[in-house]
Chains A and B, each alone.
Chain A
Amino acid sequence: MINKHCILLFVFCWQVSIVFSQSFSVLTIPDSLLEHADAVVRNSTTEIDVKSKNSAVYKLDATVSILSKKGEKNAFVQLSYSKMMKIKSFKGEVYDKFGKLVYQIGKNEAKDYSAADYSEITDTRIKSWSLNKSVLPYTIRYVYELELDGLFVLPDWQPLDFGESGQNLKLVLSDQNDLIKCKTTALRNPLSENNKKTWVIDGIRALPQLNELELNDVELPEVKLSAKVYEWYGITGNSNTWSEIGNFYHSLNNERVQVDLTIKNEVQKIIGNEIDKSTIVKKIYSHLQKNYRYVSIQLGLSGWQSEFASLTFQKKYGDCKALTSLMRAMLSAANVKSYEVLINTNISARSFDYNFVKQNFNHVILVVPLENDTCWLECTSDLNPAGYLGSFTESRTGLLISETNSRLISTPTYNETNNKIGVKTSLNATDIKAQNEVVSYISSKGELQDDLRYALSRLPKNEALLFISKFEYLKGVSNIQRIDNTVIDSFKPITSFSISHIPPNLMKSQGSRIFLQPSLFDPIGNLIDIYSDYKFNSSIRTGFEFTDTLDILLPQNIEPETNLMTKQFLVESDFGVFKSEVYFDQRNNNLQIIKKFILKEQKVKQPDLASFKIFLEDAKKKLSYSLVFKTM
Chain B
Amino acid sequence: MKKNILLILLTLPILNICGQTEWGKAEKNQLDVRVCPIDSNAKGMVIYDKQTINFKIDNRELHTYYKNYKRIQILKKEGFDLGNVMITANAKDAIFNVEAQILNLNEKGVVIVSKLDAKQIFDEKVSDNVIAKKIIFPNVKEGSIIEYSYTIKTERFRFLNDWYFQSDIPTLNSTVVLRTPYFFQYTALLKSKYDISDQKAEIFTEKWPSYFLGMGSTGQAEVDVQGTAKTFTVKNLPALEKEEYVDCLEDHLARIEFVLSKRISPNGEVTDLAKSWSEILEELTKDPEFGLLLGGVGAHIKEAKTITENSTLDLDKVKSIYEHVISKVKWDKRVRLLPRGNLAKIYSDGFGSSSDINMILVDMFKAAGLESDPVLIRSRYRGKVQKQFPDFSQFSNLIAYVRVDSNDYFIDGTSTFLPFNLPKYNVFTSSGLRMNHKKVEWFNVGTNINSVAKIFLNLSMNAEMKLAGKGMIQTTDYESSNIRSMVSDKGIDEAIKELFYTNKEVKLIDLKADPLIDIYKPLRTSFTIASDKSYSGEDVIYINPFILLHREENSFKLKERTYPINFAYPFTETINVSFTIPDGYKVTDLPKSTKTEIEGGLVSFTFFVENIDKVVQINTTLTVKEKDISSNLYDAVKSIFEKLQQSYQSLIVLEKL
Contact = CB atoms under 8 A, between A and B. Distances in A.
Interface of A: 69, 94, 96, 102-103, 111-114, 116, 118-119, 121, 125, 130, 132-135, 290-291, 293, 295, 297, 314-317, 382, 457-458, 460-462, 465-466, 469, 475-476, 478, 504-505, 508, 510, 513, 515, 517, 522, 525, 561, 617, 620-621, 624, 626, 628
A505 B539 contact: no
A517 B649 CA distance: 14
A316 B78 contact: no
Contact of A461 (B41, B126, B332, B544): B41
Interface residues of B, number: 53
Given A111-B127, A462-B558, A119 B84 contact: yes
A94 B649 CA distance: 54
A462 B557 contact: yes
Interface in B58-87: 77-78, 80-81, 83-84, 86
B653 interface: yes
B139 A621 contact: no
Interface string B529-545: 00011100011111010
Nearest to A515: B540
Contacts of A96: 350
Interface in B456-503: 488-489
Contacts of B134: 119, 121
B145 to A, nearest CB: 15
B558 A620 contact: no
Contacts of B542: 505, 508, 515, 517, 626
Given A103-B349, A119-B86, A515-B542, 7 more contacts: A113-B128, A119-B136, A317-B138, A476-B504, A505-B649, A626-B540, A628-B540
Interface of B: 41, 77-78, 80-81, 83-84, 86, 120, 122, 124-128, 134, 136, 138-141, 241, 327-328, 330, 332-334, 349-351, 488-489, 504-505, 532-534, 538-542, 544, 553, 557-558, 588-589, 649, 651, 653, 655
5 contacts: A130-B334, A133-B349, A135-B327, A293-B140, A315-B136
Nearest to B331: A132
B602 to A, nearest CB: 26
Contacts of A119: 81, 84, 86, 134, 136
Contacts of A460: 41, 241
A134 B41 contact: no
Nearest to B83: A293
Contacts of A628: 539-540
Contacts of A465: 557
A113 B533 contact: no
B504 A475 contact: yes
A94 B352 CA distance: 13
Contacts of A478: 649
A119 B132 CA distance: 12
Contact of B125 (A114, A291, A626): A114
Nearest to B351: A133
A478 B78 CA distance: 28
Contacts of A522: 504
Contacts of A113: 126-128
B77 A103 contact: no
Contacts of A290: 77
A118 B86 contact: yes
Given A457-B78, A510-B588, A295 B505 contact: no
Contacts of B78: 457-458
B338 to A, nearest CB: 16
A513 B558 contact: no
Contacts of A617: 532
Nearest to B327: A135
Contacts of A295: 84, 136
B351 A469 contact: no
A628 to B, nearest CB: 6
B332 to A, nearest CB: 6
A295 B86 CA distance: 13
Contacts of A505: 542, 544, 649, 651
Contacts of A462: 241, 557-558
A134 B330 contact: yes
A540 to B, nearest CB: 20
Nearest to A96: B350
A69 B126 CA distance: 29
B505 A624 contact: yes
A466 B242 CA distance: 14
